[in-house]
Each structure stands twice: as structure tokens, then as C-alpha cells.
Structure 1
Amino acid sequence: MKFAAVFLPLLSAGPLHAELLATFQTTRGNVTVVLQYDKAPQAVANFITLAQGTRALVNPADGAIHYKRYYTGEKFFRVINESGFKIAQTGSGTGTNSGGPAFTFRDEFHAGLTHVPYVLSMANSGPNSNSSQIFFTGNSSIPSLNNVHTIFGLIPDSASRTTMDAILAGGNDATTITGVTISRTDPAATAFDEHAQNIPTVICPRVRLNVIPGVSNTCVFDTPLTAGDVFQAFGSTTLASGGWISIGSATRRIRLAPGPTMPSVAASPIDNALEAKAFYNLAVTRHPGSVAPDSLANRTITVPFGTGSFTYTFNTTGRAGTITYTTANGIPSGGPFITFNPFTGLQQAPSFDPNNVSVAIYTESIDPGLQWLRLGCDAATSQLISGHHNFQYYNDSYPDPAEHGWEPLAAGAFTISR
């Protein structure tokens, strides 16, 4: 996740309200946060259930469903303490910038919450990609993060702010969270039910296996998968620790709301049944309200840009097509494109999540020729999926190759054809 530093004067964190509090005990002192459950209920519910370990998760090591407390025992692995830009990030579950509980939820932007000094906000990798990673801000406002990251907590008291200043001064991996305590100070906060906010849930699916030895092994669901369901399978032939492997992308199903061309999924292949024996851990993660597609094949993405718009028309592979830029007076220009992995330059299919799509585009016909669309899918009609996007381009104009990289280009609305 890349931030741009912005220099603005300090602002007040705003008035308090009915208090639902999270106190982070750290090796440098306590930080008490007033959770904004009335303005960002899903973010608050997600945080509380992860912090208290009251929500089923998928173990990334073996695919088993388990319960785990996030945050406690974790360090602030990413700390930036520059004038005008101060953040301390944690919550990956791995101690690095990679990790999370295998589900996402949508952004919750509220006009009354901005990145003024001393707030708690969700880290993300693009629109609608919130998971477990969080960050605190220090004593500077960062308006460039507004409507990009979901704020769900304020740090109003001076002692907590002093502790946060010390955490920021300590740098990467210098401070550990030793515990998180949730408290409620009035009836309204007590009445907030973190399990009733339509956040993602993990279940063990009821299935049967149809096995043809040496040919196929198919998982048949008692209840078909539908919109927002993600099926994940891990397999092992020995049950040995470290012997479990994710069976692959073929078993992951992310479904748009069922319709004539997008039916629910009643079965999914697991493997070729070549082994004499095999064991499986199966899990389904359900994302309420998901509308993101599971493929871009034969779809069209339209992104307003400047006074015109980009239109990406994908072919049957979902990995290539044609791009057109149409100006305000209706004059089009463009040509073919392919999708690729933005980190290696290798051609690769777009990435999909129940709440978002990320696709990197390479084209020689339009400037910029390297584009990265991160699309948060918010709503759907019978014809279109709509949402908000983050549009980046690859800047290779710096003299120093080490400074080449992805830069913000635009943000706003978009549509994907159904």
C-alpha cells in the first residue's frame, strides 16, 4: 500500500459520542480508541470479532477452520514518522505486510470522519479490500487518505496520543501489542451487536465426494454456492504437519448474484484422484451483499477519465481485448490490450475478490500504456455493476530506475457490464 505525503495544519479529532472503547496494551503504554460503531459498523464489528477471536477463520497453513485472536502479540511492522505523514500499521497476522483472515468487506466512508490527527483506519490494497490490517495516524492530518481508507476509531485522550507518538518514534517492529480490551460505557454501546453487521463468515460446508479413481474427485455441495461464496480446499496424503497444500484456484468460486448466465455452483472439482488416499480441509467464506464478478470474459469496463472515458472490452479469455478512449466530443482512439501481473510484468489473469477486481493493462495504443485498475464493486442492476475505483499508471520517467513505480492517476466511479 502506497501513500502520498500531504502537509496540512492539525485539526481536532471531533466530538465523542456513546463510547465503545478498544484499549491496546503495548510495550510502550496503552492506546485507547473510541470505536465509531455508528459511522463504520462493519469495520468496528470486523475489528472486535478479530481482536476477541470470536469469529471462525481459515488457517492459511492447512485450510482448517479455526479461531484466532488478531492484534495481540503482533508488532507494528510498518511505521512512517515523517513530517506531515505519520502512520503505524499492524494486523496482518504474519508480522509482515502480507497476510489476513481470507475475507474482505466493503469501504465505509463517512463525511464526519476524516484523517485528522490520531485516528484508527483500515489498511487496504484498493477499493473494498478491507480485511484485518489497520493503521494509526500521528499528529498530522493526511487528507489524501480520505475516501480511500475507512476510519473506524478516534484517539481523543492525551496519554494515548503520547503513547502513539512513542510508537511512531520507535520505528518498524519496535513495539508489540500485548493485549486488546473492549469495553462499553453506556447502553447504546452495549446494544451494538458485532455479530449482526453482515460481516463475512466462515462455515464448514456440507458436502459429498464423487470419486472416480485416477480420473476425478468432485465436491458436491448439499447447498449450492451462490453470490459471494468462496470455496477453499486444502489437501494432504499424510496428515503430516506442513504436508497440506491449497488445491488451487479451480476450487475457489466467487459468484455474482445468480442469473441466466451466472447460475449457482452445485459442485467443484478437487483433484484427479490419482493418490491411493487423500484428506481434505474444506471451508466456505460467505460475503453478504457481494456483487463482484468472477471473470471479466465478454465484459466491458467503463472508467470516466478527464473529460472523456476509458472503455475496456474484454474477449472470451477475460485477459485481453480492446481499449478505447473517447473524448468529451465523442472522438474515440485506442487499440488492443493484454492484462499482466503488475509486480513481475508477466501476463496473468486479473485478480478477483467477492468485493473487488484488480486488473493491470498493457497497451501500446494509448498513453499511459501501463494502467492498473482497482475496482470496488458496490451495487448491481440487471445490466451493470457499479462502484468506485482507484486508477494508477506506471511512471518510468524518473532518471533513477529505483524511483520508477505505480503512481495515482484518478479515482471515482466505474461500471462493469453484466
Structure 2
Amino acid sequence: MLRRVALPLAVLTVLALAGCGSDGPDTATDSGSSVKTTSCSYDKNGQAAAKDVDPPSSDAPAEGTVDVTLKTSAGDIPITMDAASTPCAVNSFVSLADQGYFDKTPCHRLTTQGIYVLQCGDPTGSGMGGPGYQFDDELGGDETYPAGTVAMANAGPDTNGSQFFLVYADTQLDAAYDVIGRMDKAGIDVVKRVAEKGTANGGADGAPKVPVTIESVTTD
């Protein structure tokens, strides 16, 4: 299901990423508050949800930031998410977090060559699970993925779900993955420590040697 990406050093990897609606004509200001919103479509994708969750509201805040903390077995990972740039993706992430979707779930994939990411967000731990819905990309075409980037994984264009990846070292990727936020230095250091232990299979791509579990996710 996950798209394979040709990488330097003959490394082949599978990253899955995508996004949602645009900040165009569908963007409006909520008459009851002054918060700018945009309309998002979260459509069933024909797969059963890995955990029982409701889809997010179609009205997503389209301004400001959201502070998120992944409380993991490896340490806390603070993230600032950008609702102005990727409102539908951030709206989905916050909805899933508030429903406990990410609680007690593994980060199932670590890559240590060519690209440098820890991938999470699949409760099944197989890399194939999702929330039972998908949504469109929110790409500007100039996305880059330096250390600290948090981005959506996908199975091709407009197939965003719940999986995301944490970039712990500068990584070259096509601008095909919605950038939803940034880790601070403390968060990058947590992921780097996981990466230093390597993968369970000893290769450049696999489950982390030291298992990483998202214990809970808090949002502010």
C-alpha cells in the first residue's frame, strides 16, 4: 500500500504521505468567533479503521498553530503544528489525538540511510493501518524536509490518513508530503537517540531496535 521512493545509495524506502483542502474559495471566517476556517473532505477509503474513531469535522481552523506533545517511551517530543499551512491535516491529527487514536501505538519504522525518519501513526504497527478515511494533499510544491520536520506519510497523491514521520536529520525528498509541523531541539534529540540504536533487523530500514511506543498525545 505504501509508495516506494527511490533514494540515494540505492536505498528503497516506503513513505506514505498526503493532505487536504485548500485555503482558497472554501476558506471563510466563522461568524461566531473570528477564527478563519476551511472546508475539508475526509472520505472513506474502503479500509476498516485500525481503531474505532469518528472522522474530523469538515470545518478546520485555518490559522495559528497547535502545540502538540507526543509522550513516548523514548521521551517527550514537543511539536508545533501549523494550521495555517495544512489546516486539514492538522485538524485530522488533533481529532485523532483527542480521541486517543495514537495512545499505546508503536512507531513502526526507522530509516537510517538515504532518508532519516521515524514513522508512526499506525495502531497495527504493520505500516498498513489507518483511520478508515483519507484526505487530499495540501502542498505548495516547495516543501523541504530538514531535521525537525513532521510530515504526513501517504500511499500516493491525496491518500493522507493517520501515519506521519519525524525527520531527525536533513532529508532529501520530493515535495510530495504535507509538512504539518516542527519538532523542537529536545524532540529531535529524542528521535536521534532512537536512531542511534539502529533497526531491529540491522539494516537501514526496519522497526526500531529499541521499540518506541506513543503513550499519549496532548494538544493545546
Which bin holds the TM-score, normalised by the shorter protein? 0.5 to 0.7
The equivalent of 2:55 in structure 1 is none
The equivalent of 1:110 in structure 2 is 140
Query: Displacement, 1:6?
Result: 4.6
The equivalent of 1:79 in structure 2 is 110
Query: Displacement, 1:110?
Result: 2.8
Secondary structure of 2:6's counterpart equals coil
Q: 1:101 aligns with which of 122, 126, 131?
A: 131
Q: How many Å separate the matches in 2 of 1:5 and 1:118?
A: 20
CA shift in 2, pair 1:137/1:6, >3 Å:
farther
Report the RMSD for the aligned CA atoms in angstroms: 2.0
Query: Residue type matched to 1:180 in 2?
Result: V
Query: Displacement, 1:168?
Result: 2.4
Q: Is the 8 A contact 1:117 1:139 kept in 2?
A: yes
Report the number of matched residues: 155
Calculate percent identity across the aligned residue pairs.
26
Q: How many Å separate the matches in 2 of 1:4 and 1:30?
A: 32
What do the CA deviations read for 1:262-311 (whole angstroms, capped 9, x no partner)?
Answer: xxxxxxxxxxxxxxxxxxxxxxxxxxxxxxxxxxxxxxxxxxxxxxxxxx
What do the CA deviations read for 1:146-169 (whole angstroms, capped 9, x no partner)?
Answer: 1x11111111x2211100112223
Q: How many Å separate the matches in 2 of 1:52 and 1:130?
A: 18
Q: How many Å separate the matches in 2 of 1:19 and 1:133?
A: 20
Q: How many Å separate the matches in 2 of 1:43 and 1:112?
A: 17
Secondary structure of 2:216's counterpart equals strand
CA shift in 2, pair 1:34/1:110, >3 Å:
farther
The equivalent of 1:138 in structure 2 is 168
Q: How many Å separate the matches in 1 of 2:155 and 2:141?
A: 22
Q: How many Å separate the matches in 1 of 2:85 and 2:192?
A: 26
Q: Does 2:186 align with 1:159?
A: yes
Query: Residue type matched to 1:23 in 2?
Result: T
Q: How many Å separate the matches in 2 of 1:37 and 1:19?
A: 5
CA shift in 2, pair 1:19/1:106, >3 Å:
closer
Q: Is the 8 A contact 1:40 1:110 kept in 2?
A: no
What do the CA deviations read for 1:336-368 (whole angstroms, capped 9, x no partner)?
Answer: xxxxxxxxxxxxxxxxxxxxxxxxxxxxxxxxx
What do the CA deviations read for 1:221-255 (whole angstroms, capped 9, x no partner)?
Answer: xxxxxxxxxxxxxxxxxxxxxxxxxxxxxxxxxxx
Show structure 1 runs of 5+ residues with no match.
8-16, 54-68, 184-418
Q: 2:157 aligns with which of 117, 127, 133?
A: 127
Q: How many Å separate the matches in 1 of 2:180 and 2:141?
A: 12
After TM superposition, list the pairs within 5 Å mapping 1:254-293 onto structure 2.
Answer: none
Q: Is the 8 A contact 2:148 2:188 kept in 1?
A: yes
Q: Is the 8 A contact 2:118 2:166 kept in 1?
A: yes
Q: Is the 8 A contact 2:67 2:219 kept in 1?
A: yes
Q: 2:120 aligns with which of 87, 90, 113?
A: 90
TM-score of the superposed pair, with normalisation by structure 1: 0.35
Show structure 2 runs of 5+ residues with no match.
10-62, 200-206
Q: How many Å separate the matches in 2 of 1:107 and 1:120?
A: 15
TM-score of the superposed pair, with normalisation by structure 2: 0.65
Larger RCO (alpha carbons 8 Å, 6+ apart): 2
Q: How many Å separate the matches in 2 of 1:42 and 1:18?
A: 13
Query: Residue type matched to 1:130 in 2?
Result: N
Q: Is the 8 A contact 1:23 1:30 kept in 2?
A: yes
Q: How many Å separate the matches in 1 of 2:168 and 2:159?
A: 23
After TM superposition, list the pairs within 5 Å mapping 1:370-409 onto structure 2.
Answer: none
The equivalent of 1:3 in structure 2 is 5
What do the CA deviations read for 1:37-67 (whole angstroms, capped 9, x no partner)?
Answer: 10000000000001111xxxxxxxxxxxxxx
Q: Is the 8 A contact 1:100 1:131 kept in 2?
A: yes
Q: How many Å separate the matches in 2 of 1:164 and 1:90?
A: 12
The equivalent of 1:34 in structure 2 is 80
CA shift in 2, pair 1:152/1:131, >3 Å:
same
Q: How many Å separate the matches in 1 of 2:174 and 2:193?
A: 22
Q: How many Å separate the matches in 2 of 1:24 and 1:139?
A: 19
